[in-house]
Amino acid sequence: MLSNKTNKGLTYADAGVDIDAGNKAVELMKDSVKATYRPEVLGDLGGFGGLFSLMNSKLKKPILVSGTDGVGTKLRLAIMMGKHDTVGQDCVAMSINDVLVQGAEPLFFLDYIAVGKLDPVQVATIVKGVANACKESGCALLGGETAEMAGFYAKDDYDLAGFGVGIVDRDRVITGEHIKAGDVLVGLPSTGVHSNGFSLVRKIVLERQNMKLDQYVDELGMTIGECLLTPTRLYPKPCLPIIQNFDVKGMVHITGGGFYENIPRVLPDGVGVEIDVTSWPQLPIFGLLQQWGNVDKKEMYRTFNMGIGMIMIVDAKDADAVLQNLADRNEKAYVIGKVVNSDVPVTLQGGVFNA
């Protein structure tokens, strides 16, 4: 016989889901979300779906480009530090940068936050980071979902993912198919580790080095936690003017898999790239991670962005003009390599790679 210790009627809140807290979170994030709206956005926050009009598109053959991603285990550091205002940018950047490499202008973004226990202020802080990143990227935060999943996530845990959509004219889609030997690789700096490789980062920092996240590191000029939570760089602002004014043959967002896995995705058969790893300033965090974890140099370039977060492949005759365009807008960029006839997709040169 089933035990019935109480006759009290159960509520959703008794099961760990607070609807009132969810409503409060929506109110706290409303202004941040509305600040991202483009003229194409229809309706208001709170509908079952986000509405976005393409009626005024001036493109002859408009193509929508979509991408989705999450922040990954970098969130564990944010949770440990109680710092939630930067991971929203990571979430946006990981999808929007992927959309950008197809030549697409970001249009809108949707986020998904799953929590163990809904804290309205915490969720609003996360969403404000998402909204600020959307605004910087020129896209609307069109909608999202906050799921309180009691008993599935621990009380203080959460996950964060998103979905972005951009638009490009069919004739301007960047595919990489016209890349040829002699083309030049222009690299744009990263802000640090971005949002990939954090399972290895955590193993090195928290387990191998047994470091506290608030430990100050002289070489970094900040605590190790502050450095690692530096958000993923958003590349639409520096790159869109180049895409619109030059023939960009290929673009590579250096994410998980580093140089060795991402660059081959845009190369046609019969060509590879030679990259001089001494051609851009090295960020201290990567040297420290390599040293602390005794990580092989090739493994570093297979896992991390190593200071270059975005690569544009252009004709050699356009390289100087591309660099000048970026410099005129105070954007740093470096010629980091060239395309060659080769069956080896990626060859790294410089320092230990010449040994």
pLDDT tens-digit map of 54-113 = 877 888 999 999 999 999 999 999 999 999 999 999 999 999 999 999 999 999 999 999
Backbone region of residue 307 per phi and psi (left: phi > 0; alpha: psi in -120 to 50; beta: other values)? left
Bin 189: left if φ > 0, else alpha if -120 < ψ < 50, else beta.
beta
CA distance 17 to 276: 53
pLDDT in tens, 223-275: 999 999 999 999 999 999 999 999 999 999 999 999 999 999 999 999 999 99
Which residue do the tokens 């900040």 mark?
Answer: 222
Token look-up 């998904």 returns 112
Residue percentage of the chain with pLDDT more than 90: 80
- Per DSSP, what are the bridge partners of residue 272? 340
Residue in the block written with tokens 């004219």: 169
User: Largest alpha-carbon pair distance within the chain?
Assistant: 83
Res 144 pLDDT > 80: yes
Say how far apart CA 351 and CA 277 lie, in whole Å.
8
pLDDT band at 45 (very low <50, low <70, confident <90, very high): confident
CA distance 306 to 190: 8
pTM attached to this predicted model: 0.92
Whether residue 248 contacts residue 242, with contact meaning beta carbons closer than 8 Å, is answered with yes
Tell me: the pLDDT tens digits for 191-231? 999 999 999 999 999 999 999 999 999 999 999 999 999 99
pLDDT digit string (tens) for 284-293? 999 999 999 9
Q: Facing residues of 313 across strands?
A: 185, 250
Beta strands in the chain (DSSP E): 41-42, 51-52, 62-70, 105-115, 140-148, 158-169, 184-189, 216-217, 222-223, 248-253, 271-276, 308-314, 334-341, 346-349
CB of 352 closer than 8 Å to CB of 298 = no
Tokens representing 212 are: 């506290």
129: pLDDT strictly greater than 80: yes
State the residue for tokens 């996950």.
Answer: 159
